[in-house]
Amino acid sequence: MKILYILAFLFCLCAFQAKADFITYWKTGNPGVSAENQIIIPATGSNYYVYWIDVNDTDVSSEGLASGYHTLTFPYPGTFEVHILPFFGSFTRITFGPGSDAPKLIGITQWRDSQWANVENAFAGCTNLTITATYIPNTQNVISMAGMFRDAIIFDQPVNIARDRHIYRLPTAHFPCTHSQTS
């Protein structure tokens, strides 16, 4: 019976963790400031949990805790799925821009459940970014989306902020994306 309780607890823990993940895809061979087998996650937070998987060989993976800007070094160049969650600490913001690994970020498939503290310039310069996440990020604490997708030239997802009427600053939230749309 004790084993049944442990298994139920582990199942619930895994279900919670999967829902809270910020899931991204990176192509390390794209231009950026790090080596061709690395990425730099430009994060704000401490003791957040990161794990990654090689998309072509799921037996190749690793995990650990990170704080602030964090460099992940992979065994070789390739495309990697990277999960970030504040399970053990905080992960409140990500900020790309000039002199970053922005072109290496190629996808977001899931926004994390917890609230973002700031999204200003979050994905600026992410020229190869596509987003297939089926729900919008929690921007309840955000007051400005200025530059959020600036120069993300292939970004083509609706920016639905109707539920977040407290956001007062949208200039260049996604300009000059060539395929963006708002709803």
**pTM, two decimal places:** 0.80
- Enumerate residues 6+ apart whose C-beta is below 8 A from 69: 40, 41, 42, 43
Distance CA 58, CA 181 (A): 34
Alpha helix (H) residue ranges in the chain: 2-20
Q: How far is CA 23 from CA 19, 29, 85, 128, 177, in A?
A: 10, 19, 9, 16, 22
Q: What is the pLDDT of residue 115?
A: 78
Per-position pLDDT tens, the chain of length 183: 555 443 343 344 444 444 578 999 999 999 999 999 999 999 999 999 999 999 999 999 999 999 999 999 999 999 999 999 987 788 989 999 889 999 999 999 998 776 788 888 999 999 999 988 877 777 888 888 888 888 887 766 665 544 455 555 554 544 444 444 444
pLDDT of residue 167: 59
- Stated as kind and residue range, the H or E segment containing 73 is strand 70-73
